[in-house]
Structure 1
Amino acid sequence: MHTPDSSHRTLAAALLPLVGGPANVASVAHCMTRLRLGLADPSRADEEALRAAPGVLGLVVDGGSYQVVLGPGVVTKVTAEFETLLDGSPSPSPSPSPSPSPRENQNQSQGRSTADELALRGSELRESRRRRNATPLKSVLRRLAAVFVPLIPALVGCGILAGLNGLLLNAGWLPGLTPALAAVASAFMALIAVFVGYNTAKEFGGTPVLGGAVAAIVVYPGVAKVTAFGVHLSPGQGGVLGALAAALLATYVERQCRGRVPETVDMLLTPTLTVLVAGLGTLYGLMYAAGAVSTAIGTAANWLLATTGPFAGLVLGGLFLPLVMLGLHQALIPLHTTLIEQQGYTVLLPVLAMAGAGQVGAAVAVYVRLRHDVSLRTTIRSALPAGLLGVGEPLIYGVSLPLGRPFLTACAGGAAGGAFVGFFAMLGDKVGATAIGPSGWALFPLLAGNRGLGATAAIYGGGLLTGYAVGFAATYVFGFTDRVRKAA
């Protein structure tokens, strides 16, 4: 019988050769449910074996990035074991072997020639598919996600503490503790620009600390004394978008310096010129422009839900599951973070969370209809708790997507739940989340709005129930082909 640690180690050891071995792994990271691997040569990965490996709930391939869906909790432990295996992998050393005879030499040469031809053709086919999939838009979204995904744990923790502090303030409890909680919950958001700048430079090939140094200008109180375009700047103007742009500019300036500055003075001049040029560009251009874009995002989100509430909710809730399936949903993090910085909460996340409700309803319908499919029902029982907490990948890859139709009916449930929340937004009842990451029932501690916590929770809960009901009904009636019905 395996202990939990040994099972995670076994799964990591099983995955490593399937992605081409230690030498083929260029980067390792994880989000809430996925092990994210950057591969030096994607053609060396065995996609079919990865998808079929025990413990793997799904696989998303996007260029050289392989996202192995393992589920919440499991992915953190498997990633740690995976990194341990990489750190402890020995360097290959040549071993002496007897010289082959001329006939063996000829046979081996012919075998290698055939194998090399097959390998080359397989590599060409995979590279062709990679080029078709690696669109500029997907590449940009994937890299943006890599900047913001590592920030999610801090966003979740600080968001929950901010919500707890709000409850204590409203109730008048523990007045001596609330200032301390406010400081703990707010410090990260006050300096999030620095972390965004650090991660941006790291992702785009610059020196991380230089990206963080330039991005820190955005939140430095002294910028209030600087005048750009005839107005005084405000600390934090432009928010995370300004920090992102500042770090990208710093990375570009640093690269230009590295190619032109003599090596003898590179350590002195390159950091100085990078901070100076990128810093001035941030103050006299990027902060103002990013501030205008951030304001436009907040205005657009509020207008969208206040004017076209049910329709906007229908579209957002219905299309979110395909984004999750493609791994592109993380690219929405900058929008959520911008809204949280501006308004204290994001009104988009509760609407998008309805997609998970539709998925849960669809999974329950599959469980009820396919009574004789023991394996599938076991998968649903194990994945449903995570689905109720808003982690949809196990149900997507383990249930609805393989069956086909239930994935579409789950989207219908998400659309219905989104329309429900959007309808109340159009009436003036905003439902928002103070942090990103959790969804489903786990989002309740993070809810905020303009009508009080009780009304906000009731609207959000009503949206979840609507998503469950429509996802279940649509799947029960339309989610199965005649062949599946007869088998059931």
Structure 2
Amino acid sequence: MSSKDLSKQIITLVGGEDNVNSVFHCATRLRFKLKDSRKADKAALEKTPGVITVVENSGQFQVVIGNNVSQVFEQIMKETSLQDAEKSGKADESSESTSVLGKAVDIISSIFSPILGALAGAGILKGLLALILSLEWINAASGTYLVLNAASDSVFYFLPVFLAVTAARKFKANQFVSIAVAGALVYPAVITAVSAPDPLSFLGIPVVLINYSSSVIPIILAVWVQSYIEKWFRSFIHESVRNILVPMFALLIVIPLTFLAFGPVGSLISDGLASGYTWLYNLSPLVAGAIAGAFWQVFVIFGVHWGFVPVMLSNIATLGYDTMLPILTAAVLSQAGAVFGVFLKSKNPQLKALSGSSTLAAVFGITEPTIYGVTLKLKKPFIYACISGAIGGAIIAIGGAKAISFSLPGLLALPTYFGDGFSWVVIGIVVAFVLAVILVYLFGFDDPAVPAEEAPGPVAASSPSLIDKETVASPLTGTLMPLEALPDEAFASGAMGQGIVIEPDSGRLTSPVKGTVTTVFPTGHAIGITSESGAELLIHVGVNTVKLKGKHFDKRVQEGDKVEQGQLLLEFDVAAIREAGFVTATPVIVTNSANYLDVLKTTEAKVQNGDLLLTIIN
């Protein structure tokens, strides 16, 4: 299908031009903001030749095309009256028709997703420290414990400060003013005054002091109001003194309001969420566990799982524990079991390979590649996983297991569940995993047929020349990760092709092959190269870095340039991109890997520019 025909087909299947609020594109996908996503025919789009997959995320309807996305986008611009939302500055605007729930989920995900890694890592460390302490391997009065406890607890104690940064980015407020507001909430003198017997007042108004360390909602409310206050003052204060007076007035107004209003109100909301969840859980732990275990991955598919993160954090902050996280581990392990069952049962080599790699990712809590790439597409394995997750979750809930700190549900989170009910957690996740494997293996699924041209045939032992290979050098210096670990399901699922991910140590990106530069995205964050032998490679720096609009990227080549292996293609500022809140993990993908027998990855943990990275078997 030509780019012109494909563009017409896509516009028709997203509901027509009248259903599109805005559209722009990144290196691999068209990103639509639709007026009514129900009018889009997602199933038909995914079956359209030229469309790799369709992803709905953060209010965007994303149609993954691949390297020729720019040509398809150009045709859309020619054939319609739509404008490039990236150039017009409307790429991040929310549709007016977005539901209240959708907007709430978008806000929560934007605020919490950048810090989930730090929260999960600190939570696991906190659980391990509690385990070590209970085994009396360390003395609570020792300096070693003091340092390790500070390392594990600082993220949670200063959680308002972390949330101030991400909330300021979301609400477009001054980050440093937001951090100052959060700093006031956990200011040592304020924390001390909480336990003091004498009441405090501000200008004669009584102040209800609360310990805001580990709190969630008060700082989010404060930064939201701060964004409007700053906008109002900027509208009339002269630019010569704007950078001084606007922060001053914001601090002068927001911090007292936080102590007088936002803090107490936010604390009441947090207490209400924790109490409400505890009440429902205590009505019937078995039913609560079964429902959470069965439907958690359904919530993940629709993105509404973000709404539970503040509840979990509120439970830990107010109750000292959370009972939801252990239950959700059963839901995660059931998906791992289902995809492992697919691995054992399938006769399709590509599905078998994808299932094997997805199993490992799912065991450690990364289920998006499993869901989007395997179980949901096959339908029956996803249903078997939900059933297994319900049974495992009910077992864990009956045992009364608790998480003492936040973590991402998975095997790595087990130390955070140590204590009463821990044995029930182990039983519940084993049941969830094993039962899902058995259900998938016994009752099966519609296994995709192996195309005749891909069916393996005999290769004469005396004809080694029939097998040819091409090597791909590393374009970066850094640490290697499996593709499944990338927080972008379009890449992680393998839908874009086989490859590997590099977490860069530096921003010097060189050509992995001798060939021709076929794509240089205008923002510089992605480059496509075709080798002399025909291998098509895509190097995509980071995740969603298209939103930087070229900032921190310096292109050194243009489309059509002939390049040698090792030639400098791009330089980028790794530290600045990370400080802007973006993941810098860089996938190197063989986008036409379906044309080859296999793509082998190096077994090294780290690589330098020019080291062997991939071997393409013809």
Q: CA deviation at 1:325?
A: 1.9
One of 389, 393, 396 as aligned partner of 1:421: 396
Q: Which amino acid aligns with 2:407?
A: I
Quote the residue 2:79 is aligned against: 118
Quote the residue 2:120 is aligned against: 156
Quote the residue 1:431 is aligned against: 402
Q: Which amino acid aligns with 2:98?
A: A
Q: Which amino acid aligns with 2:105?
A: L
Q: Report the secondary structure of 1:59's partner residue.
A: strand
Given the alignment of the two structures, is residue 395 of structure 1 paired with residue 370 of structure 2, yes or no?
A: yes
Equivalence map 1:88-487=2 (5 Å): 118-120=79-81, 134-175=98-139, 176=142, 177-223=144-190, 224=193, 226-227=200-201, 232-236=208-212, 239-370=215-346, 372-425=347-400, 430-437=401-408, 439-449=409-419, 451=420, 455-456=421-422, 458-476=423-441, 480=445
Q: CA deviation at 1:25?
A: 6.9
Q: CA deviation at 1:341?
A: 2.2
Do 1:165 and 1:182's aligned partners in 2 also have CA atoms closer than 8 Å? yes
Q: CA deviation at 1:218?
A: 2.2
Do 1:215 and 1:243's aligned partners in 2 also have CA atoms closer than 8 Å? yes
Tell me the TM-score normalized by structure 1. 0.70
Write the distance in 2 (CA, Å) between the matches of 1:382 and 1:238: 36
Write the distance in 2 (CA, Å) between the matches of 1:325 and 1:366: 20
The structure richer in strand per residue is: 2
Write the distance in 2 (CA, Å) between the matches of 1:482 and 1:216: 56
- TM-aligned CA distance change 1:277 to 1:66, over 3 Å: farther
Write the distance in 2 (CA, Å) between the matches of 1:220 and 1:50: 57
Deviations 1:47-68 (A, max 9, x none): 97999999x9973344347598
Q: Report the secondary structure of 1:239's partner residue.
A: coil
Q: Which amino acid aligns with 2:436?
A: G
Q: Which amino acid aligns with 1:442?
A: L
Q: Which amino acid aligns with 1:431?
A: K
- TM-aligned CA distance change 1:464 to 1:116, over 3 Å: closer
Q: CA deviation at 1:307?
A: 2.2
Q: CA deviation at 1:476?
A: 4.3
Q: Report the secondary structure of 2:221's partner residue.
A: helix
- TM-aligned CA distance change 1:149 to 1:52, over 3 Å: farther
- TM-aligned CA distance change 1:464 to 1:227, over 3 Å: farther
The structure richer in helix per residue is: 1
Q: Report the secondary structure of 2:399's partner residue.
A: helix
Q: Which amino acid aligns with 1:184?
A: A
How many residues are paired up?
A: 391
Do 1:159 and 1:434's aligned partners in 2 also have CA atoms closer than 8 Å? yes
- TM-aligned CA distance change 1:376 to 1:53, over 3 Å: farther
Do 2:334 and 2:385's aligned partners in 1 also have CA atoms closer than 8 Å? yes
Write the distance in 1 (CA, Å) between the matches of 2:332 and 2:184: 38
Tell me the TM-score normalized by structure 2. 0.56
Write the distance in 1 (CA, Å) between the matches of 2:63 and 2:434: 31
Q: Which amino acid aligns with 1:135?
A: S
Write the distance in 2 (CA, Å) between the matches of 1:181 and 1:366: 41
Q: Which amino acid aligns with 1:309?
A: P
Write the distance in 2 (CA, Å) between the matches of 1:327 and 1:272: 38
* RMSD (Å), alpha carbons: 3.9
Do 2:54 and 2:61's aligned partners in 1 also have CA atoms closer than 8 Å? no
- TM-aligned CA distance change 1:51 to 1:367, over 3 Å: farther
**Higher-RCO chain (CA-CA 8 Å, sequence separation at least 6):** 1
Q: Which amino acid aligns with 1:293?
A: I
Q: Report the secondary structure of 1:260's partner residue.
A: coil
Write the distance in 2 (CA, Å) between the matches of 1:285 and 1:357: 42
Write the distance in 2 (CA, Å) between the matches of 1:254 and 1:52: 49
Gaps of 5+ in 2: 1-22, 36-41, 65-73, 86-90, 194-198, 450-618
- TM-aligned CA distance change 1:283 to 1:205, over 3 Å: same
Deviations 1:198-241 (A, max 9, x none): 21011111111112211222222333364588674123178111
- TM-aligned CA distance change 1:119 to 1:240, over 3 Å: same
Do 1:238 and 1:294's aligned partners in 2 also have CA atoms closer than 8 Å? no
Q: Which amino acid aligns with 1:216?
A: G
Q: Report the secondary structure of 1:236's partner residue.
A: coil
Do 2:207 and 2:260's aligned partners in 1 also have CA atoms closer than 8 Å? no
Do 2:161 and 2:179's aligned partners in 1 also have CA atoms closer than 8 Å? yes
- TM-aligned CA distance change 1:122 to 1:198, over 3 Å: closer
Write the distance in 1 (CA, Å) between the matches of 2:63 and 2:169: 20
- TM-aligned CA distance change 1:222 to 1:58, over 3 Å: farther
- TM-aligned CA distance change 1:174 to 1:355, over 3 Å: closer
- TM-aligned CA distance change 1:234 to 1:63, over 3 Å: closer
Do 2:226 and 2:254's aligned partners in 1 also have CA atoms closer than 8 Å? yes
Write the distance in 2 (CA, Å) between the matches of 1:482 and 1:448: 40
Write the distance in 2 (CA, Å) between the matches of 1:161 and 1:50: 45
User: Quick one: percent identity of the two aligned structures?
Assistant: 24
Q: CA deviation at 1:261?
A: 2.2
Gaps of 5+ in 1: 1-22, 29-34, 69-112
Greater Cα shift, 236-245 or 392-401: 236-245
